[in-house]
Amino acid sequence: MLVYIDRKRTSPSTPRKEYVYRMNRGIEDAVKCGMPEAYVENVMRGYIPADDEDEDSKEGGKMAEFAKDQAAKFRDESGVLE
The predicted model scores a pTM of: 0.65
Across 8-47, b (16+ Cβ under 10 Å) vs e yields: eeeeeeeeebbebbbbbbbbeebeeeeeeeeebeeebeee
pLDDT in tens, 27-65: 999 999 999 999 999 999 998 999 876 655 556 678 778
Q: How far is CA 53 from CA 17, 21, 47, 50, 58, in A?
A: 13, 12, 18, 9, 8
- The reported pLDDT for the residue numbered 60 is 64
Q: What percent of the chain has pLDDT over 90?
A: 28
Mean pLDDT computed over 66-80: 74
